Amino acid sequence: MFNEMKDMINHLEDTELKTLLLQVFLRMQTVEERKGYSEQQFFLDVKNTYNDLLASKNNQTSSKQAQFQTTHIVFSDSAAGSLKITLIESDLTQQENIMNVSDLFSIGPLWNLHTPEGINHRYNWLRTHINIDEKQLMTYEYHFEQYLLSLKQIPNDHKIIIWIGENAHEQAALRLILYVLKEKTNDIVLININEAYKMHFELDEMEFPPRHMGEILVKQLKQMYGNKGQGHVLTQLERKVFEQQWLQLCQQKDVLRIWENNEIVNVPENYYDEYIIETVKEFHEKNNHKDFIKSARIIGEVMGHLNQYIGAQFIEYRVIRLIMNGILDMEGVPTAMRHYSIKIR
């Protein structure tokens, strides 16, 4: 509720805020002067004002969506930024909208994430395990619920395009989104960025395919989306299969997922611990086992060689666990990965 009120107030202009505050003060004065205006009526009037403001904000969102013909759904800030530039350069911003469901679904619990209880469960895990910006964490639950509400409010005549790659993050997100959209009759198109990349570009022997959409350059994305035949329109049967897969996925308790053999595979949260340890040992050998190594260097090295997309924050979480378990030594303060160094104990 607090985050909802805060978000609504942030959308008001200064003059609107001043007028609203003046109305509240005048009503308080009327109550104090006992002019037939009770505290109960004061509370009801303030509550009605709040409900009116909330309805107005939701109507503005619906009105904004109505002007578009296509809604793109992506799953990271970098993907949303690249696609936005692509639409601007293609002169499509008046017809096509972007919705960014920003999270990292390869890590953390997915239990009943389509419900408020599931969102709260995920929030509590992130709060106690992952080093996330405090401001972002404070509004996490509210913004996630707003994402899901906005999905349900997509007009029925919109074409919906969902961008996915061959990774557990975007594949899990796809299944969640299709479950949330299960009552919608819109055409839903999937664009697999890995398939599109292979179609338009050649990989040299030393080059890795993109692990997720955020790794696609704008010029590449523009070329990929310029091919209007790109993408696959989901059949009703395919949608049902994805919806059922979400119902299975959201009942599992695991907090780490990888993409293997075209499937989302749950693995133990310590799955990459041995690789982290081996990476630290390699750095020690280069430094004659003398110095602590900046944790950011280790985390970056591990991330650079993984063929999965699980994020630096999860790798840092495992580094901290290895420190707590007495496998690694630490020097510094672990407020951020650049502030402390590590070595094998």
Query: What is the pLDDT, as a whole number, of residue 161?
Result: 96
Burial grade of 271 (CB within 10 A; 0-12, 13-18, 19 or more): middle
Query: What is the pLDDT, as a whole number, of residue 138?
Result: 87
Residue 179: alpha-carbon gap to chain centroid: 17
Asked whether 241 and 284 are in contact (CB, 8 A), the reply is: no
C-alpha span between 167 and 258 (Å, rounded): 7
Dihedral through CA 41, CA 44, CA 45, CA 47, nearest 10? 160
CA 167 → CA 121, 175, 181, 307, distances in Å? 23, 13, 21, 9
C-alpha span between 10 and 57 (Å, rounded): 11
H or E segment to which residue 162 belongs:
strand 159-164
Residue 10: alpha-carbon gap to chain centroid: 21
Query: What is the pLDDT, as a whole number, of residue 66?
Result: 57
Query: What is the pLDDT, as a whole number, of residue 90?
Result: 87
Query: What is the pLDDT, as a whole number, of residue 300?
Result: 93
Domain 68-266 matching CATH 1.10.357: the answer reads no
Within the chain, where are the H helices?
2-10, 14-32, 39-66, 77-89, 116-129, 134-138, 140-152, 168-180, 193-200, 218-226, 236-249, 273-286, 295-305, 312-324
Query: What is the pLDDT, as a whole number, of residue 47?
Result: 74
CA 179 → CA 62, 148, 170, 182, 314, distances in Å? 21, 10, 14, 5, 26
Query: What is the pLDDT, as a whole number, of residue 201?
Result: 85
Token pair 């340890």 is found at 277
| DSSP letters for 19-88 | HHHHHHHHHHHHHHTTSS--HHHHHHHHHHHHHHHHHHHHHHHHHHHHT-SEEEEESSHHHHHHHHHHHH
Longest Cα–Cα distance in the chain: 84
Residue range 273-344 forms a domain whose CATH class is mainly alpha
Kindly state the DSSP code that residue 209 receives in the 8-state scheme: P
CA atoms within a 13 Å half-sphere pointing along the CA-CB vector of 70: 12
Those residues with Cβ within 8 angstroms of residue 141's Cβ, 6 or more apart along the chain or in another chain: 3, 116, 119, 120, 123
pTM of the model: 0.80
- Which residue ranges make up each domain of the chain? 2-63, 68-266, 273-344
Query: What is the pLDDT, as a whole number, of residue 318?
Result: 96
| pLDDT tens track, the chain, 345 positions | 555 666 666 656 565 566 667 667 766 777 776 666 677 777 777 777 767 666 655 554 454 555 899 999 999 999 999 999 999 888 898 899 999 998 999 999 999 999 999 999 999 999 999 988 888 888 899 999 999 999 999 999 999 999 999 999 999 999 999 999 999 999 999 999 999 888 888 877 656 778 899 988 888 888 888 765 578 999 999 999 999 999 999 999 999 999 999 999 999 999 999 999 999 999 888 776 568 899 999 999 999 899 999 999 999 999 999 999 999 999 998 888 888 999 988
Q: Is the dihedral of CA 231, 233, 238, 244 positive or negative?
A: positive
CA atoms within a 13 Å half-sphere pointing along the CA-CB vector of 263: 7
